[in-house]
């Protein structure tokens, strides 16, 4: 067996990642802190060819050390922790309420399974703050569907309230439940709840609604709090924001983008952005991309947006892994 004592922990982790492969190592990497991930990625980039015997020894050591660790005691708290990590807080509470009688009830769980249009129709007569409170306790998908079905004149105000919603006491939840009792049936536990609203919640919702709804929300927010609009836009990254990337970063993104989807993603974009992308390709690749775009002819906007979403997914993955750091105009960068 190889002498592994002289090999750093981050290098052994990098070898383990290579030996497991991307598909199996991916879930392990997701649980790391960014600084830990950066060290391992740096080692992977500089490993070169690894001896197969050494790689197997690293795996064997990892398994041996894992087997020595005592298993935690299984209990309700651990079960909930696993559920939260895998599916989020709301799903965890829903499942735990079915297996543990002492688990807190899930606010507005009775809305699950109802048509978004029906829920929006019933909620539309309520105060925007009340609607935001309800939406803040639902899943992101539910919130996006319901807010998209609200009357257009109501959407900006609800979006603004959702973005600024903080914490809600059980007395408020109970009052809302009482007011909706004739239309929706639910019983909320008499306890203090943290709403899941706020800027991050609204950013996720905005990522799921169409452009018209997004702009209505921003228009409403702009009239109420221009600084909040700036904060939300700073957390969002739309296709036009590729202009924020320097040439090296564009080249990095292009390495992870499906070249077959790029022509569709660039249909109808501003010439400035199109030239930036093309300028970071070889002459032959530029020519091929232009030809493929011409061959596409007229395309549906929904297909273009889907292709652009795939490019943005690559950007987000690179940013989350620490390989890409985007200057959104904050104070973290100096010239």
DSSP 138-181: S-HHHHHHHHHTS-TTTHHHHHHHHHH--EE-HHHHHHHHHHHT
Q: Any idea what DSSP says for residue 49?
A: S
**Farthest CA pair distance, the chain:** 72
CA distance 287 to 236: 32
Domain boundary among 52, 80, 103: 103
Angle between helices 128-136 and 155-164 (to 10 degrees): 60
Q: What is the CATH number of the domain that holds 178?
A: 1.10.220.30
Does residue 99 sit in the same domain as residue 118? no
> Which pLDDT tens digits describe the chain residue by residue (335 residues)?
567 777 888 888 878 877 777 666 666 666 667 677 767 766 776 677 777 888 888 888 877 777 666 555 555 555 556 565 655 655 665 565 555 554 455 667 667 767 888 888 888 888 888 888 888 878 788 888 889 999 998 999 998 888 888 777 777 776 777 777 666 553 333 333 444 456 666 776 676 666 677 777 777 777 777 777 777 766 677 788 888 889 999 999 999 998 889 999 998 888 999 999 999 999 999 999 999 988 888 888 888 888 888 888 888 788 778 888 776 554 444 43
- DSSP characters for 54-123? HHHHHHHHHHHHHHHSPPPPP-HHHHHHHHHHHH-HHHHHHHHHHH-TTSPPPTTGGGTTS-HHHHHHHH
Residue 137's nearest CA partner among 206, 194, 208, 205 is 194
Does residue 139 sit in the same domain as residue 78? no
Q: Is residue 3 part of a domain?
A: no
In this predicted model, what pLDDT tens digit does every residue of 223-261 receive, in sequence order?
777 777 777 766 677 788 888 889 999 999 999 998 889
- Read off the pTM: 0.37
Q: Is residue 332 part of a domain?
A: no
Does residue 34 sit in the same domain as residue 61? yes
Residue 64: count of CB within 10 angstroms of its CB: 9
Q: Is residue 93 part of a domain?
A: yes
Q: For 298, what's the count of Cα atoms within 13 Å in the CB-facing half-sphere?
A: 0
Burial of 263-295, coded b for 16+ CB within 10 Å and e otherwise, reads bbbbbebeeeebebbbebbeeeeeeebeeebee
Q: What domain range includes position 281?
A: 239-321
Q: Phi and psi for 290 in degrees, rounded to 5?
A: -60, -45
Residue 264's nearest CA partner among 289, 237, 243, 282 is 289
Does residue 91 sit in the same domain as residue 62? no
Domain boundary among 179, 209, 235: 235
Looking at residue 277, its pLDDT comes to 93
Domain boundary among 169, 203, 235: 235
Residue 107: count of CB within 10 angstroms of its CB: 25
In this predicted model, what pLDDT tens digit does every residue of 267-313 receive, in sequence order?
888 899 999 999 999 999 999 999 998 888 888 888 888 888 888 88
CA distance 113 to 118: 11
**How many domains does one find in the chain?**
4
Cβ–Cβ under 8 Å, residues 200 and 168 = no
């Amino acid at each position: 067996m190889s002498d592994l004592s002289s090999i750093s922990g981050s290098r052994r982790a990098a070898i383990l990642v290579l030996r497991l492969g991307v598909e199996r190592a991916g879930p392990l990497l997701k649980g790391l802190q960014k600084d830990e991930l950066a060290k391992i990625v740096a080692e992977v980039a500089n490993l070169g060819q690894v001896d197969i015997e050494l790689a197997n020894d690293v795996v064997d050591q990892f398994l041996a050390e894992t087997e020595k660790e005592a298993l935690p005691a299984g209990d309700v708290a651990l079960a909930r922790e696993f559920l939260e990590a895998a599916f989020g807080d709301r799903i965890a509470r829903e499942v735990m309420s079915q297996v543990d009688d002492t688990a807190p009830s899930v606010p507005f769980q009775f809305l699950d399974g109802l048509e978004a249009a029906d829920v929006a129709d019933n909620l539309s007569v309520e105060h925007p703050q009340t609607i935001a409170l309800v939406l803040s306790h639902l899943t992101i998908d539910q919130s996006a569907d319901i807010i998209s079905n609200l009357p257009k004149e109501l959407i900006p105000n609800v979006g603004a309230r959702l973005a600024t919603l903080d914490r809600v006491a059980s007395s408020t939840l109970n009052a809302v439940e009482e007011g909706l009792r004739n239309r929706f049936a639910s019983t909320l536990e008499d306890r203090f709840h943290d709403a899941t609203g706020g800027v991050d919640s609204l950013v996720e919702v905005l990522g799921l609604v169409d452009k018209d709804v997004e702009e209505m929300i921003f228009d409403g927010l702009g009239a109420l709090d221009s600084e909040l609009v700036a904060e939300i836009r700073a957390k969002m990254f739309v296709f036009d924001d590729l202009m924020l990337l320097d040439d090296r970063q564009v080249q990095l993104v292009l390495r992870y983008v499906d070249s077959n989807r790029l022509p569709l993603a660039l249909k109808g974009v501003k010439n400035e952005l199109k030239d930036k992308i093309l300028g970071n390709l070889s002459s032959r690749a530029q020519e091929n991309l232009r030809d493929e775009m011409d061959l596409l002819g007229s395309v549906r906007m929904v297909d273009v947006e889907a292709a652009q979403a795939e490019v943005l997914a690559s950007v987000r993955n690179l940013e989350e892994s620490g390989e890409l750091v985007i200057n959104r105009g904050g104070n973290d960068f100096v010239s």
